[in-house]
Chain A
C-alpha cells in the first residue's frame, strides 16, 4: 500500500492503495466515479478512456502509481452541467444507443477537439479507432464530433 495523490475532476484526492491498481478501478471503486466503464481490461475497447493532463488514456491498463500527481478528468468532470460541446453535440445528434461505451467515446472526442479544432474525417478515424461501439453508433459519433467542433468554434 502506498499513499498516492491525484487531482480528479479538479479536486485533490489522497489515496492509500496498492500502487498497481488500475486507475479505472480506483476511479470506480475508491472514488465512486462509475461513469468510466470497464470493457476489456486490455486497452482494446476504449470504454475506460479518461484524460490524464488532457491526453486520452486507457485507464484499465494504467496503474494508479503512473498518474500520481497528475490531473485526471472523467466523464463526470467534462462539465458540471452537460455544457461541454461534445456533450451538447452528442445530445443534439442523439448518438447513444445502449450508451455504455459513450463516456469513453466522448472523452476520446474531447481530447481530439482540444488539439484539433476542425478535425477531418481521417483525423476522426485516427483518434477514435481505439473506441469500440457494439451498437454501431459510429456514423453518429463522426457527425457529432463535427457538430461539437462547430459548437466550440462558434462559442469563441
Chain B
C-alpha cells in the first residue's frame, strides 16, 4: 500500500486544483471554484435527441443540443444516496433547464471531475453535496448568463431584463422567448462570466422539492445495470478463492482436480488467492469449489477476537498518547502519561498555563464498538478488458481515481491508458473505495486469459475478505465541580486506521483523522477538553464504513453525556439543552426531536425513551427512541423520531429516505451485526451468522427535516445511524437502569422483538 500512498501524493501534487487540463480556471476568493471551463473538443460527443442536431458544451459539466437537449455530467457514483438526482438538479436549477429534458452522462476518470474540496475523484465520506453544491451552482449560473448574453445580443436588449425558465430565455418586458437550442451556438462564443449571479433560494423551482430519483424507472423493472449485470462480447467469468487468513497466500493448487469440468478457460493465480475462469460464472464457481488448493496461512493465524481485545487493552493502558485536540486547559484532568502533541498549535496558548483545577467528582467510563462488515447486497465484482497497453474497467466503484492509479502502478502504464467506468452500485457504504482487490483481480485475470473478464465474489468471499470497520475502545473522563457543573472532559481513543487504504496521504504511523471524527466538533459548552489518540496496528484490514469515526465516537460520547445527565438527576434532553445554550442550531434540532417525540410528556407505562444529538458530516442530527424491554431482554422499538438540519434540504424525499434507511442500518449495528476473528480469519461468512435488520424488526420511524440555511451544506448519506445508537443505549438504560457500554447489544443478551 505504500506504493499507492506515494502515487496518490504525487498525483495530487502534480495536478493542482488550478491546473486541470480541462479547465481554464479562475479561483474565487473564499473557495476553489471553477468558473471558466474550457472543454476538449472530443468531449463534444454527440448525445443529441434528434439526428443532425449539434451538441455543444458550455463547460465541463454541461452540453446543450441545438435540439434543446440538456446533458449534465455526473461525476459521483450512485449507490442509493440519490446524488445522481440532486447534483444535476442543482446545475439545472441555476441554468433554468426543463428538468424533463435533462439527460445525464457519466464523467470519465479525469482531474476535471475531482471533488473540488479534496482534489480527488471519489464518492464517499458524505462529501458529494457539501463539496459540489457551489460548483454545480456556478456551472449552471455561468451557462445561464452565457445563454442570456446570446439572447440579449440577438434582441438588442439589456441582459439584466432577461431570465431563463424551462429551457428558454425570456425577455421580461416584451415576453419574447428563445429556446436554449437556438441560442447555444452563440452562447458558446460568449466569455464565461467571472462571477455569475446565483439564484436566491426563494427562486428555486427544482431544489427543495421531491423530484423523484432519475433512475427509479430502471430500478423497478430490472433494467438498471449494476456491476454484476454489465457485459461485453466474449466476456469470461471468474470465481475467486482468497487465502482465508489475512496476509496468507496460495501455496499450491492442482489443476487436475477440475479436469472435465465444462466451460473452463483457465486457472489463474492472483495476489493472495486463485481464480477459476470459465465461460459462465456458474461453471467457474462449480469448478472453484472442486479445485484442490492449499494455502500458506502465514503469521496471522494466532489472531483472534480475544487476542485483539488484549491488543486494545494494552494500548489503552500504555503510554505515549498522541494529543490531538485541546480546548482550554489540557491538564485540567490529571494525566500520568507522557504525550506527544499532534502539532505545534495543538495546545492553545490560552490553555497551556491555565491554573490547575481540582474536581470533587471525577467520573470515568469505557465504551467499545465492534468490527463490522459492509455486507453490500451486491457482492464485490468488476469487469476488466486488458488489451495491448490499455486497461478498461467497468465497476461498481466509489473510487474511480484510485482504481486508475492502482492499475497504472501495477501494469506500469501511463494513467491515461487506464479508463474506469462506473455502473450502478448495489450498495457502497465505503467498501467500494478501494481497488487493490476486486478491481485489480479482474485486470490481472483479463490480462492472463487475454479476454474481457468479470470477477464475481461469492458472499462468503465478500464477507471474509472485507476491509472491516475497525473496533474501537474509548475511555472518557469528566471533571465536575462542586456546583455539579461539567468543567473538563478527556477522551482517549484506541482505533485502527480507517483511511489507510482509501486516502493514504492523510494517514501516518500514529495518526488518522477519520478515526477522530466527532471528537473535535462538540458544541457542548465544556471549558476544558482534551482528546488523546492511539492508532492501533493490527493484522486485520480495516477501512471506511458508513458513519466512519463518527459512529463509534458519538456512541461513546453521547452515552457518556447521558451518564452525566443521570448522575445529575436531569433528563437527557434538558441536560444537553443546557450545555447547548450558545448553539442555537444545535438546540433547534434537539428541541425539534424532543417536541416531535413528546419528550416532556411521560411515555406510556413500560415504555422508555432515550435521546442523543450530534453534529456529524456537517449535519446536525438528533434521535429519540421509545422502547420497552422484556424480562428476557427482548427489545420492542415502538418508535424512532429523527430530526436533522443539513443546512438546506435540497431534496426532502431523498433525504428522508436516507435517514429512514440510516435507522435500519443503525439498528443492525446496535443489536445484531459483528465480525469476530479466529485463527487469523473472519468467523462470519453469510447473512445467517452476520445478521442485518429484517422487515419484521423495522420500527415505525418519523423524520423531521429543518433548513437553517447554514453553509457549507452537510452530508446526509451516512449521518442517519450516528445518533441512533447512543439513543438506543440511553433508552435501554432508562428501561433497565443498567448501562451497556459495548456493542452489539446481542453481547448482553438483547435482541429485537
Chain A residues within 8 Å of B, Cβ to Cβ: 1, 18, 21-22, 25, 28-30, 33-42, 44-45, 47, 74-76, 78-79, 82, 87, 90-91, 94, 96-103, 106, 124-126, 128-142
B695 / chain A contacts, CB cutoff of 8 Å = 124-125, 128-129, 131, 138, 141-142
Q: Are A138 and B664 in contact (CB under 8 A)?
A: yes
Residue of B whose beta carbon sits closest to that of A36: B222
Asked if B305 lies at the interface with its beta carbon under 8 angstroms from chain A, I say: no
- Given known contacts A37-B426, A98-B427, A135-B427, A125 and B696 CB-to-CB distance under 8 angstroms: yes
- Given known contacts A76-B222, A94-B216, A99 and B424 CB-to-CB distance under 8 angstroms: yes
B585 to chain A, nearest CB (A): 27
Residues 178-230 of B at the A interface (beta carbon under 8 Å): 210, 212-213, 215-226, 228-229
B653 / chain A contacts, CB cutoff of 8 Å = 94
Residues 647-680 of B at the A interface (beta carbon under 8 Å): 653, 657-658, 660-665
Asked if B693 lies at the interface with its beta carbon under 8 angstroms from chain A, I say: yes
B692 to chain A, nearest CB (A): 6
| Beyond A42-B686, A100-B378, 9 additional pairs, beta carbon < 8 A | A25-B280, A33-B222, A90-B216, A91-B216, A94-B213, A125-B696, A139-B700, A141-B695, A142-B698
A82 to chain B, nearest CB (A): 5
Q: Are B693 and A47 in contact (CB under 8 A)?
A: no
Q: Are A45 and B377 in contact (CB under 8 A)?
A: yes
A100–B428 CA distance with the chains assembled, in angstroms = 11
A102–B219 CA distance with the chains assembled, in angstroms = 7
A105 to chain B, nearest CB (A): 9
Give the residue of B424, B429, B456 whose beta carbon is less than 8 angstroms from that of A38: B456
The count of A-to-B residue pairs whose CB atoms sit within 8 angstroms is 174
Give the residue of A30, A74, A97, A124 whose beta carbon is less than 8 angstroms from that of B222: A74
B424 / chain A contacts, CB cutoff of 8 Å = 98-100
A138–B379 CA distance with the chains assembled, in angstroms = 21
Asked if B175 lies at the interface with its beta carbon under 8 angstroms from chain A, I say: no
A102 to chain B, nearest CB (A): 6
Q: Are A132 and B661 in contact (CB under 8 A)?
A: no
16 contacts between A and B (CB under 8 A): A25-B282, A33-B222, A42-B459, A76-B223, A78-B221, A87-B221, A97-B658, A97-B661, A98-B78, A99-B426, A100-B424, A106-B220, A131-B695, A134-B429, A135-B665, A136-B665
A18 / chain B contacts, CB cutoff of 8 Å = 262, 286
A22–B100 CA distance with the chains assembled, in angstroms = 41
B301 / chain A contacts, CB cutoff of 8 Å = none
B256 to chain A, nearest CB (A): 21
A130 to chain B, nearest CB (A): 8
Q: Are B661 and A90 in contact (CB under 8 A)?
A: no
Stretch at the interface among B4-12, B79-87, B292-300, B382-390: B79-87
B546 to chain A, nearest CB (A): 10
Q: Are A29 and B694 in contact (CB under 8 A)?
A: no
**Which of B82, B237, B280, B693 has most A Cβ within 10 Å?**
B280
Residue of B whose beta carbon sits closest to that of A86: B220
- Given known contacts A94-B657, A98-B377, A139 and B219 CB-to-CB distance under 8 angstroms: no
Produce 1/0 per residue, B685-709, CB < 8 A to A. 0111000111110101100000000
Q: Are B217 and A91 in contact (CB under 8 A)?
A: yes
A30 / chain B contacts, CB cutoff of 8 Å = 280
Asked if B641 lies at the interface with its beta carbon under 8 angstroms from chain A, I say: no
Interface residue total, chain B, C-beta cutoff 8 A: 62
Q: Are B280 and A29 in contact (CB under 8 A)?
A: yes
Residue of A whose beta carbon sits closest to that of B228: A38
Asked if B281 lies at the interface with its beta carbon under 8 angstroms from chain A, I say: yes
A36–B700 CA distance with the chains assembled, in angstroms = 29
A130 / chain B contacts, CB cutoff of 8 Å = 694
Q: Are B688 and A133 in contact (CB under 8 A)?
A: no
A81 to chain B, nearest CB (A): 9
Asked if B745 lies at the interface with its beta carbon under 8 angstroms from chain A, I say: no
B701 to chain A, nearest CB (A): 5
Q: Are A90 and B220 in contact (CB under 8 A)?
A: yes
Asked if B376 lies at the interface with its beta carbon under 8 angstroms from chain A, I say: yes
Q: Are A100 and B377 in contact (CB under 8 A)?
A: yes
A39–B701 CA distance with the chains assembled, in angstroms = 27
Give the residue of A28, A75, A136 whose beta carbon is less than 8 angstroms from that of B660: A136
B660 / chain A contacts, CB cutoff of 8 Å = 136-137, 139-140
A45–B657 CA distance with the chains assembled, in angstroms = 21
Asked if B458 lies at the interface with its beta carbon under 8 angstroms from chain A, I say: yes
B280 / chain A contacts, CB cutoff of 8 Å = 25, 29-30
Asked if B425 lies at the interface with its beta carbon under 8 angstroms from chain A, I say: yes
Q: Are A40 and B80 in contact (CB under 8 A)?
A: no
Q: Are A91 and B220 in contact (CB under 8 A)?
A: yes
B344 to chain A, nearest CB (A): 44
The 3 closest A-B pairs by CB, nearest first: A35-B222, A136-B664, A100-B426
A56 to chain B, nearest CB (A): 14
Residues 692-735 of B at the A interface (beta carbon under 8 Å): 692-696, 698, 700-701
B226 / chain A contacts, CB cutoff of 8 Å = 37, 100
B444 to chain A, nearest CB (A): 23
